[in-house]
Structure 1
Amino acid sequence: MYTLENEILLVNIVAKGAELTRIYHKQHQLEYLWDARPEVWGKHSPVLFPIVGTLKENTFFYEGQAYQLSRHGFARDREFEVSDQSANSIRFTLRNDETTAAVFPFAFVFSLTYKLEGNRLAVSYQVSNPDTTKPLYFSVGAHPAFRLPLEPGLAYEDYRLVFNKAEHAGRWPITQDGLIDTTPQALLENTSELPLHKELFAKDALVLKHLQSDSVTLRTEKSERGLQFDFPGFPFLGLWAAPGADFLCIEPWCGIADSVTHNQQWTQKEGIIHLPAGANLTASWSVSLF
């Protein structure tokens, strides 16, 4: 386990999956990250790469060949190497190998950097295409789970999410097979606020596409404690909790699960990133704890 610490925050990350496992506010003496109870959901903040969500029949086709990838891809189960570290910053890196080539026929260098900046944790994903002859097609996303309620004596329903712009956006339903259905359902209708309650997630995640907002704030009128989550440049956002669980996942995605109508052709997948030979992509999100 690796630790980052400043005068305000203490953060832990493990090499398996480069997964964030703790965000502790020292001044408030408050844990912000879900504790990964295995009987509920045994993850804290998995990293999603090279897919986000589920493929139709867990299969994609590329250049006439079929490849199988399980939900959210393989990065969350792989050991990353530490490629750079300081007191308040650490960088993890994963590269393609024979194991990844069997399920994902692309060369890649995938790095994550965690950095503390006062009461803010900044997370940056960099994907590089080392191949000099062909493009890299992929998706990448985050899945951090925050404790809710944050403090004793409060209830899940005391909280709301406040978007930084008014939204008119439906939720895209997820089928039992984990695919995105064809028609959105009403959710946000010219409002910037989403009151939270556990029934929101009775039918899986809320999937939102192409929001106007690039920031959400988790807050309650009953306490000064909460967080601001910034996700500039991510075209999709997921909100999720396991049934009845005391957490909220805020998930910025560059990519999305397959549609029920998708033809399974990898280069035609909704939200797929096309990275030319030798190119790099950086995507970043951050959370500020108050």
Structure 2
Amino acid sequence: MKLENDRLFVEIAEAGAEVTRIYDRNRGADLLWEADPKYWKRHSPVLFPNVGKTYRNTVLIDGTQYPTSQHGFARDSRFTCVCETEKKVSFLLSSSEETREVYPYSFELVVTYTLEEACLNVEWEVHNTGSSDMYFTIGGHPAFRFAEQEEKKSDYMLKFPGKESLEYILLNPAEGAADTSRTYTLALDNGTCPLTEEMFEKDALIFDGGQIEEVWICRKDGTPYVGMRCPGFPNFGIWSVKDAPFVCLEPWMGRCDDVGFDRELSEKPNVVRTAPGEVFRKGYTVIAG
């Protein structure tokens, strides 16, 4: 599926309802990572019904343990296009016997992309079609590539408008779960910090507490390259791979489990609860600089 206007050209696949290309006509450059498996085989997966890993790759729901996969099954599922116009497209994933083997709830997940000038708006709708409360986490994982082939992380910086510093935690590498025993400070200079390889030596940086509502990838001289607005998200991740020419900006409604979390999914911090018949809506915006 394709969306386009005078500024952006966007391609989205039915596989995972994943955006596979964002081309900036003004710059003559692709903003989205091309999924080169040398570094990372994805572009911008939808994370549902879990963000990141659950502790020991299981989740407890109403007393039953279910197996989970990292970032959930939506990114590897085939969606159906249910709406397509020149500037808007929507995709649907419904629960099935297969999904209920690992996630017992009945649901409909609708992912909508809308093009508006230099912005791509992303909206999720989660419909609880079952008869009991439904619990989940959901997130975005877009990877933004650097403009030129030879550019590196050191050619860019991150900008967090209005922020003086940010607090983050890291993953426990053995567990793939969040280590909350230590908090780190990301010092900022006029809201900015250099983008470096060293930032990601221990995987993703995890920001809790709704700290990030807007973030930009900028060139070293401060020129905006690509940005994201995501008000109202309690969690946010920033991630890359060693020497990879991209960085992921990840708005999350909930996140991976903490190390040792073995309680009911309903007790998980920042888990989303949707009552029977209710619809959860949330979204974020990608902006070409």
Judge which range, 81-90 or 174-183, deviates more: 174-183
Matches within 5 A, 1:41-120: 41-120=40-119
Matches of 1:229 and 1:75, distance apart in 2 = 22
Q: CA RMSD in A?
A: 1.6
Matches of 1:40 and 1:220, distance apart in 2 = 22
Give the total of aligned pairs.
Answer: 287
Say if 1:139 and 1:255, in contact at 8 Å, map to a contact too: yes
CA-to-aligned-CA distance 1:52-80 (integer Å, 9 cap, x gap): 01011111111121101111000000000
Matches of 1:209 and 1:107, distance apart in 2 = 29
Report what 1:151 is aligned to.
148
- Determine if the alignment matches structure 1 residue 162 to structure 2 residue 159: yes
Report what 1:245 is aligned to.
244
The offset of 1:154, in angstroms, is: 4.3
The offset of 1:157, in angstroms, is: 1.0
Report what 1:193 is aligned to.
192
The offset of 1:281, in angstroms, is: 1.0
Corresponding residue to 1:137 among 135, 138, 146: 135
Say if 1:170 and 1:184, in contact at 8 Å, map to a contact too: no
Say if 2:152 and 2:243, in contact at 8 Å, map to a contact too: no
In structure 2, stretches of 5+ residues that fail to align are: none
Which amino acid in the other structure matches residue 198 of structure 2? Answer: E
Matches within 5 A, 1:189-268: 189=187, 192-222=191-221, 224=223, 226-268=225-267
Matches of 2:212 and 2:19, distance apart in 1 = 25
Say if 1:55 and 1:179, in contact at 8 Å, map to a contact too: yes
Matches of 2:287 and 2:70, distance apart in 1 = 29
Q: TM-score, normalised by structure 2?
A: 0.95
Matches of 2:185 and 2:156, distance apart in 1 = 17
Which amino acid in the other structure matches residue 94 of structure 2? Answer: R
SS at match of 2:160: strand
Which amino acid in the other structure matches residue 260 of structure 1? Answer: V
Say if 2:166 and 2:211, in contact at 8 Å, map to a contact too: no
Matches of 2:148 and 2:143, distance apart in 1 = 15
Matches of 1:213 and 1:240, distance apart in 2 = 14
Matches of 2:243 and 2:188, distance apart in 1 = 28
Judge which range, 209-218 or 172-181, deviates more: 209-218
Report what 1:269 is aligned to.
268
Report what 1:28 is aligned to.
27
| Identical-pair percentage | 35
Alpha carbons of structure 1 residues 174 and 125: separation in structure 2 relative to 1, 3 Å: same
The offset of 1:187, in angstroms, is: 2.5
SS at match of 1:166: coil
SS at match of 2:15: coil
The offset of 1:27, in angstroms, is: 2.5
